[in-house]
Structure 1
Amino acid sequence: MKKAIEGKFYLEAITIQESIITDRLLSFVIRKEILVVSNENFHSQNVSLNNLSKLSRVHFEDETLFNEIDEFRLSRNKCIHAMVKSFPGNPTQKVSEFQKLSRETSLIGRVLTRKVDAWHTRMKKTHNI
């Protein structure tokens, strides 16, 4: 993640961040038995970042972490999809705007990844899971 940001590979950093955040939330909801998944449906919609953050929400200390995850998720979606997608007849996003949003999202994601990881560590200790 650090090397991706330093190398200005912001989409790669964002992808790594989303993967880590999703992993920590998934680990928690499975260990806490909030979500039951099998090997066959492990990659279903149930394990999306959006769903996992909603399932974990009641275990966050306050709404701040949930809101930060949701903002990151929406910004991540803009970064991933805005590069090539626009409303028919409208131009795609300017490259400079895309780069700025991707950089900002990756920097926010780096901080958020640490927060979610620290939360996950606390939850494992608190819930003895």
Structure 2
Amino acid sequence: MLRIGELAKRAGCRVQTVRFYEAEGLLSEPARSEGNFRLYDESHLERLLFIRRCRCRDMTLDEIRSLLALRDRPELDCGKVNDLVDAHIAQVRRKITDLIELQKQLVELRRSCDSARSTRECGILNGLADEFIAREIHQ
């Protein structure tokens, strides 16, 4: 049995992270010692590591919750797992497209200030201010 600090250390996370996943219902409530300390077993560690691997792949808590529910039912077909991952791949592709567009905007903004000037004359600051003003006027 592991106490919460030991579990967190073995999973490479903070104690607050373990408590958060418990509060979210992703980790089952552990047993308690006579001194009321949380006591986790290897299944908690395995599940926590699974959650952490999903988070490293930028999966949302809802996606992880769905994967865990499917994992807890090993007799089911894994088609729903494939569907969930396919949807996540599509989401990642959209994020990549958005990030490429953001990069273009930032490069263009950076080009507007190619030398050290006073901040009053800074092309970046003025460009950001003008963009905000233009957006406000059109809304």
- TM norm structure 1: 0.30
- Larger RCO (CA under 8 A, 6+ residues apart): 1
TM-score (norm: length of structure 2): 0.28
**Which one has a bigger Cα radius of gyration?**
2
